[in-house]
Structure 1
Amino acid sequence: MVPRANALGLLRKDDQILLEEQKGVHSKGIGYFYRPIGGTIELGERSYETLIREYKEELDVEIAIKRYIHCLENIYEINGRIGHEITQIYEVEFKDELLYKKDTFQVVEGSRITQAKWISLGDIESLILYPNGLQELIKQIM
Structure 2
Amino acid sequence: MKKTRKIRVKVFGLIRDGNRIFVSEDYDSVKQQKYYRALGGSIEFGETSCAALEREFQEEIQAELKNIRYRGCLENLFTLEGKPGHEIVQVYECEFIDPKFYQLQELVFIEPTHNSQHKALWIDISRVKSGELRLVPEEFCDYL
Q: CA deviation at 1:61?
A: 1.2
| Range with greater deviation from structure 2 (31-40 or 105-114) | 105-114
1:123 aligns with 2:127: yes
Corresponding residue of 1:96: 98
The normalised TM-score by structure 1 is 0.87
Corresponding residue of 1:40: 42
Q: How many residues align?
A: 136
1:135 aligns with 2:141: yes
- Given that residues 20 and 107 in structure 1 are in contact (C-alpha distance below 8 angstroms), is that contact kept between their aligned partners in structure 2? no
- 1:91, 1:78 → 2: CA distance? 25
1:79–1:16 Cα change, 3 Å? closer
> What's the C-alpha RMSD, in Å, of the aligned pairs?
1.7
- 1:25, 1:69 → 2: CA distance? 31
The normalised TM-score by structure 2 is 0.86
Corresponding residue of 2:12: 8
1:61 aligns with 2:60: no
Residue 86 of structure 2 aligns with an amino acid whose one-letter code is H
Q: CA deviation at 1:97?
A: 2.0
Q: Secondary structure at the match of 2:135?
A: coil
Q: Which runs of 5+ in 2 are unaligned?
A: none
1:113–1:80 Cα change, 3 Å? closer
Q: CA deviation at 1:65?
A: 4.3
1:103–1:44 Cα change, 3 Å? same
Residue 134 of structure 1 aligns with an amino acid whose one-letter code is F
Percentage of identical aligned residues: 34
- 1:107, 1:49 → 2: CA distance? 20
1:79–1:98 Cα change, 3 Å? closer
| CA offset digits 1:57-114 (Å, max 9, x no partner) | 1111111242111101011234664311000000011111232122212221132111
